[in-house]
Structure 1
Amino acid sequence: MEGTVINWMGAIAGLILAVVLIFKKVNPVYALFLGAIAGGILGGASIAETVQYVIDGTNSVMGAVVRVLAAGVLAGVLIESGAAERMAETIVDKLGEKKALLSIALATMIITAVGVFITVAIIIVAPIALSVGKKIGISKTALLLALVGGGKAGNIISPNPNTIAVAKGFDVDLAQVMIHGFIPAIAGLIVTVIIANLLVNKGVKIAEGDVVTKEEDSTKVKPSFGRAIVAPVVAILLLAINPIGNILNIELLKSFKVDSMIILPLAGIIGLIAMKQTKNIISFTTSGLNKMTGTAIILIGAGAIAGIISKSDLSATVVDAITAMGISGTFLAPIAGILMAAATASTSTASIVAAGSFGPAILSMGTAPLNAAIMVHTGATVIDHLPHGNFFHVTADSVKMNIKDRMSLIPYESLVGLTMAIVATILYGFIL
């Protein structure tokens, strides 16, 4: 039985309720569940139908949840071993003070791209950024934009929860999403560095108490750079085998179809062996699991609200509006990502909700699943940093910035995300 088609206004009302509850500091998972239930009932579905739609929605994200939890092994190894920090320090040291903003943005991009969650990557690089910024007179505003912009660029080419979510949502290979996001990511990095350089003398200045001294930062024994990069290199190489095989039409490589659920933990364990840290396997992997658990649970909440929206006529209404305005249907993919990111203030949650709710409509416009995934994904980075999300507050805390000053950075962050979305849309909506 098909069930009741939920009125789009009811679905939107539920989504708005979820956002309001998140603003009121209600746990995001419960806020999303309550919003989903309210949206279903307000949209005309019975309580029984609403519950079933919520369950169907949560079931649809289970594959992504499992992969996110598995990715916790690699994340835990990189963070707890000090490998991620060593990579960041090496990149900043090698590029030097003259290219400080580029080095900070690039370091955050790479740390995020190799599988560290974006907020954690920013927390790791932030003390290094503050130390360099204080020494050569760069404002906090410029530094935080470099951190955030670099993180956003790395996030669309990473095996992180958002990329896993959008790949699963459109049923495409994770590695393909990562590889095809590379050009938009580079565009985002370039725009980040340009804007950050314009802000060097603007905004908040760094105070003495903001900088971590060498003595405070010398407690952790970090691996060498060579050992630190083993885990991410193994992960990237294994993930790239099948896509490279498809590009070069090599049957042996094409037949290598190992899921990221296996590859990411395996790379983490190989990295542990390379760093001679196997004795810490339990503590590192437990830490990684703990870091991913919150995201995995939020994805379940996102699945619930996606279940309601996907059973509504919202996507059809948006399609009708786009058609009436004479806009190409190709723009539905990035628009869906942008709208859901604005609602959820989370790239991962937006990717799940946009793919689940608008996926069929996007594909019906003739957009290939992989192209759709990339455009939705980059669209989700445009305004995923709004104050009702965790990202906004964690990044402010990372450089000890107050809410008012943090708010002033939002337009610049949006420009970075918008650049990546525009480049992705041109490439995968009109050229390729």
Structure 2
Amino acid sequence: MSLVLTWWAALIGLAVAIILILQHLNPVYALMLGAVVGCLLGGANLTQTINILIAGGQSVMGIVLRVLAAGMLAGVMMESGAADTLARAIVTKMGDRLAILALALATMVITAVGVFIPVAVLIVAPIALEVGQRMHISKLALLVALSGGGKAGNIISPNPNTIAAAKGFNVELSQVMIADFVPAVVALIVTVLVATLLKGKGSAVLERDLDILASEAHPDSLPSLGTALVTPVLAIVLLLLNPIGSLLHIGVLTKFSLDAMYVLPIAAIVGALAMRQGHKLMSYAQAGMNRMTDVVLILIGAGAIGAVITSSDLPAQLIHLIKMSGISGVFLAPIAGILMAGATASTSTGVILATGSFSKAVLGFGISPLAGAAMMHTGAIVCDHLPHGNYFHVTANAMRMSISERSKGILYESLVGGAAVITATIMYGFF
């Protein structure tokens, strides 16, 4: 008979990991230490503890491979200037009259094509500050526009968080991207409405704030819009071939079951060649790999703590408790996403922890894997911008905001994430 850890020990292990992360211990060590504590308190001996941790690491290898593949695409989009080109094109084409929508949409698009949300904000921030000074839009409104747009794009992107949501529930990446499209559109609409209401509140953009533009690449050095679109368009088309074939009952397309592990690097290589940057592929790949290293390490740690929870009777106890309370089990998926991402102040880490720890319990309520993935994934963007995370400080620096000023945006950013998760919960939890 296999070992079953006690539920309270698994919770203590998870709590230890989160507390250590909040105390700024390296998240990987925090997660692994929490896993060890949970195992030992739960009744495992030293050998069994090691076996559980190894099993947890092995369980995330599929996600690791796809995350590393995504690094190639991210590296090309960021390092080549393709993402910058897309942002500038959107803002220029839409004009000053639709400035807030243009900035939010620009951040959404470049996040949706595989650029990390903090990097997306860094790319669009110089443009936003320039537009903000010209159109008298406050920094707070600009921050909400960029952050909200990034959140909307993040739930429909081939980024690590979406990959983790898909593989955590054993569904295709493209399916999660499609499922989260409507919640993403709702998030974009709420972003524009909230940012518009805030455009006269908060500090104005000053001339000295524009010194950030000096460090940006000159537009002449950026690729053309046509070549910049090659990588994201090719990736999206290849990822959607199978779902479109299934939807339209086209037998030929249903046979093209292309995994993100193949699609993302192929799209990146073709895109780099289209931009005549093939000679820089090695450096792009290295840059992408560097950005993914931390995510991969966290995946291993999250796999360990996830294995502790799935090896315990916690999922069964959760199902029993929720059924006894009369609360719909549908709410477990979004709440898990909100709590784990809020605790770690990271979308990716939050999704990884939530799926690894609670996907079994969510499925135990009869919720479909795709519905669980969509609700948990959108839940993770509600509180991923809290001050103990990297994103909070990156965006503060990008927008030339003090910590107190940056903190004023937290509530409004949560409204955007809340709109997305409420939409997803209504769509997939009750219909």
**Normalising by structure 2, what TM-score?**
0.96
Q: Which deviates more from structure 2 when the two are superposed, residues 212-221 or residues 164-173?
A: 212-221
Residues 407 and 18 (structure 1 numbering): CA distance in 2 closer, same or farther, change over 3 Å?
A: farther
Corresponding residue of 1:151: 150
Residue pairs, 1:20-419, within 5 angstroms? 20-212=19-211, 216-219=215-218, 221-419=221-419
Question: Residue 179 of structure 1: CA displacement?
Answer: 1.0
Residues 317 and 202 (structure 1 numbering): CA distance in 2 closer, same or farther, change over 3 Å?
A: farther
For the residues of structure 2 that align with 1:214 and 1:341, how far apart are their CA atoms?
Answer: 32
**Is the 2:4–2:313 Cα contact (8 Å) retained in structure 1?**
no
Which letter does structure 2 place at the counterpart of 1:331?
Answer: F
Q: Which deviates more from structure 2 when the two are superposed, residues 147-156 or residues 379-388?
A: 379-388
Q: Which deviates more from structure 2 when the two are superposed, residues 287-296 or residues 79-88?
A: 287-296
Question: Residue 219 of structure 1: CA displacement?
Answer: 4.4
Q: Which deviates more from structure 2 when the two are superposed, residues 88-97 or residues 23-32?
A: 23-32
| Cα distance per residue 1:149-196 (max 9 Å; x no partner) | 111110110000001111111111111110111000000000111111
Structure 2 spans left out of the alignment, 5+ residues: none
What SS does the corresponding residue of 1:104 show, helix, strand or coil?
helix
Q: Which deviates more from structure 2 when the two are superposed, residues 217-226 or residues 282-291?
A: 217-226
What SS does the corresponding residue of 2:44 show, helix, strand or coil?
coil
| Cα distance per residue 1:326-384 (max 9 Å; x no partner) | 22112221122122212222221222222222112211211111111111111111112
**Is the 2:126–2:213 Cα contact (8 Å) retained in structure 1?**
no
Residue pairs, 1:417-428, within 5 angstroms? 417-428=417-428
What SS does the corresponding residue of 1:211 show, helix, strand or coil?
helix
| Cα distance per residue 1:93-114 (max 9 Å; x no partner) | 1111121111111001000001
Question: Residue 309 of structure 1: CA displacement?
Answer: 2.0
Question: Residue 215 of structure 1: CA displacement?
Answer: 5.3
Corresponding residue of 2:10: 11
What SS does the corresponding residue of 2:426 show, helix, strand or coil?
helix
Residues 368 and 140 (structure 1 numbering): CA distance in 2 closer, same or farther, change over 3 Å?
A: same
Structure 1 spans left out of the alignment, 5+ residues: none
For the residues of structure 1 that align with 2:123 and 2:169, how far apart are their CA atoms?
Answer: 32
Q: Which deviates more from structure 2 when the two are superposed, residues 318-327 or residues 208-217?
A: 208-217
Identity of aligned residues (%): 56
Q: Which deviates more from structure 2 when the two are superposed, residues 152-161 or residues 122-131?
A: 122-131
What SS does the corresponding residue of 1:115 show, helix, strand or coil?
coil
For the residues of structure 2 that align with 1:229 and 1:349, how far apart are their CA atoms?
Answer: 29
**Is the 1:88–1:108 Cα contact (8 Å) retained in structure 2?**
yes
How many residues were matched structurally?
Answer: 430
Q: Which deviates more from structure 2 when the two are superposed, residues 282-291 or residues 38-47?
A: 38-47
For the residues of structure 2 that align with 1:352 and 1:400, how far apart are their CA atoms?
Answer: 31
For the residues of structure 2 that align with 1:197 and 1:418, how far apart are their CA atoms?
Answer: 18
For the residues of structure 2 that align with 1:377 and 1:192, how far apart are their CA atoms?
Answer: 18
| Cα distance per residue 1:383-426 (max 9 Å; x no partner) | 12222222222222221222222222221111111111111111
Residues 139 and 107 (structure 1 numbering): CA distance in 2 closer, same or farther, change over 3 Å?
A: same
What SS does the corresponding residue of 2:430 show, helix, strand or coil?
helix
**Is the 1:176–1:243 Cα contact (8 Å) retained in structure 2?**
yes
Which letter does structure 1 place at the counterpart of 2:57?
Answer: T
**Is the 1:61–1:352 Cα contact (8 Å) retained in structure 2?**
no
Question: Residue 46 of structure 1: CA displacement?
Answer: 2.7
**Is the 1:230–1:271 Cα contact (8 Å) retained in structure 2?**
yes
Which letter does structure 2 place at the counterpart of 1:248?
Answer: L
**Normalising by structure 1, what TM-score?**
0.95
Q: Which deviates more from structure 2 when the two are superposed, residues 220-229 or residues 306-315?
A: 306-315
**Is the 1:71–1:261 Cα contact (8 Å) retained in structure 2?**
yes
Residues 312 and 205 (structure 1 numbering): CA distance in 2 closer, same or farther, change over 3 Å?
A: farther
For the residues of structure 1 that align with 2:194 and 2:324, how far apart are their CA atoms?
Answer: 36
What SS does the corresponding residue of 2:273 show, helix, strand or coil?
helix
Which letter does structure 1 place at the counterpart of 2:375?
Answer: M
Residues 50 and 207 (structure 1 numbering): CA distance in 2 closer, same or farther, change over 3 Å?
A: farther
For the residues of structure 1 that align with 2:247 and 2:321, how far apart are their CA atoms?
Answer: 38
For the residues of structure 1 that align with 2:303 and 2:204, how far apart are their CA atoms?
Answer: 41
For the residues of structure 1 that align with 2:140 and 2:237, how far apart are their CA atoms?
Answer: 36
Q: Which runs of 4+ in 1 moved over 4 A?
A: 213-216
Residues 204 and 38 (structure 1 numbering): CA distance in 2 closer, same or farther, change over 3 Å?
A: farther
Which letter does structure 1 place at the counterpart of 2:350?
Answer: A
For the residues of structure 2 that align with 1:189 and 1:322, how far apart are their CA atoms?
Answer: 33
For the residues of structure 1 that align with 2:292 and 2:174, how far apart are their CA atoms?
Answer: 20
For the residues of structure 2 that align with 1:21 and 1:357, how far apart are their CA atoms?
Answer: 18
Which letter does structure 2 place at the counterpart of 1:41?
Answer: L
Question: Residue 48 of structure 1: CA displacement?
Answer: 2.6
Question: Residue 290 of structure 1: CA displacement?
Answer: 1.0
Q: Which deviates more from structure 2 when the two are superposed, residues 282-291 or residues 159-168?
A: 282-291
Question: Residue 292 of structure 1: CA displacement?
Answer: 1.3
Question: Residue 22 of structure 1: CA displacement?
Answer: 2.2
**Is the 1:4–1:49 Cα contact (8 Å) retained in structure 2?**
no
**Is the 2:7–2:309 Cα contact (8 Å) retained in structure 1?**
no
Q: Which deviates more from structure 2 when the two are superposed, residues 199-208 or residues 260-269?
A: 199-208
Residues 206 and 43 (structure 1 numbering): CA distance in 2 closer, same or farther, change over 3 Å?
A: farther
| Cα distance per residue 1:23-70 (max 9 Å; x no partner) | 332211112111222222233433333222222222111111111111
**Is the 1:65–1:296 Cα contact (8 Å) retained in structure 2?**
yes
Question: Residue 213 of structure 1: CA displacement?
Answer: 6.5
